[in-house]
Amino acid sequence: MYCCGICSKQLSSNSSLDRHMLVHSGERPFRCHICGTHFTTNGNMHRHIRGHYRNGGGGGTGGGSPTSDTGDSDIGSDEGPHLTLQEAPR
């Protein structure tokens, strides 16, 4: 087991942990060339892009509004253990 040093999430492999760390760094290196949505993983991006082609089907209606894909079990939601420290005004 690999354990994230930031949120203590447990990953099954070193590569999973590596990918998970992107959540904390905020990096989303993969970008959809159609709508510009960013993704943390290559797989997520390709799945998303496939949705573009499936929706359009070459018809050209252009009515599809792709929802951001948040079904990644490793990454989870963006609402991680972010601590927002607010300085109390004195």
Among 63, 67, 72, smallest CA distance to 80 is for: 72
- Closest CB to Zn ion among residues 45, 87: 45
What is the distance between the alpha carbons of residues 2 and 29, in angstroms, rounded to a whole number?
A: 23
Q: Does 19 bind Zn ion (CB under 5 A)?
A: no
- Grouping H, G, I as helix, E, B as strand and the rest as coil, residue 30 is strand
The site map against Zn ion for 31-70 (x = CB under 5 A) is: -x-xx-x---------------------------------
Could you list the residues that contact Zn ion (CB under 5 A)?
4, 6-7, 9, 32, 34-35, 37
